Structure 1
């Protein structure tokens, strides 16, 4: 399955992304919406690198945390960011 162009920047560190924060959030939201764990994992990596979280991303993280078809480690990482973001 060929990946769409929107998520391809996730294969590089967040620091190399040259567009706005809003564009970066769109890329992360697309990755978190992907039905397989690869892009979700990379999107969570960008969040761990410091990309600010918005309400849409929090919702997507909650869905990943509850999706038992994803690896446990991925769900735990999503849950940790989700929990930190909802406690603010």
Structure 2
């Protein structure tokens, strides 16, 4: 089963897609999210959000501030600033 991931900044959608794993830095430390993760809400710290897509590709987003929400295999990341890293 895959995660449905949506990464947005204050002014635009940065990345949306299906993923097998998401790793993000929160104010309490780094967290890894896989399918079946318990619902949660966390404050984002400045740093990378690393997404492994369902087909194994790596997507990296530089995020600053905001929050991360997990609910029923849906991961939503809303950052004050977010930039897709090439």
TM-score with structure 1 length normalisation? 0.26
For the pair shown, the structure with the greater C-alpha radius of gyration is: 1
TM-score with structure 2 length normalisation? 0.26
Structure number with greater CO (CA < 8 Å, separation at least 6) is 2
Name the one with the larger helix percent. 1
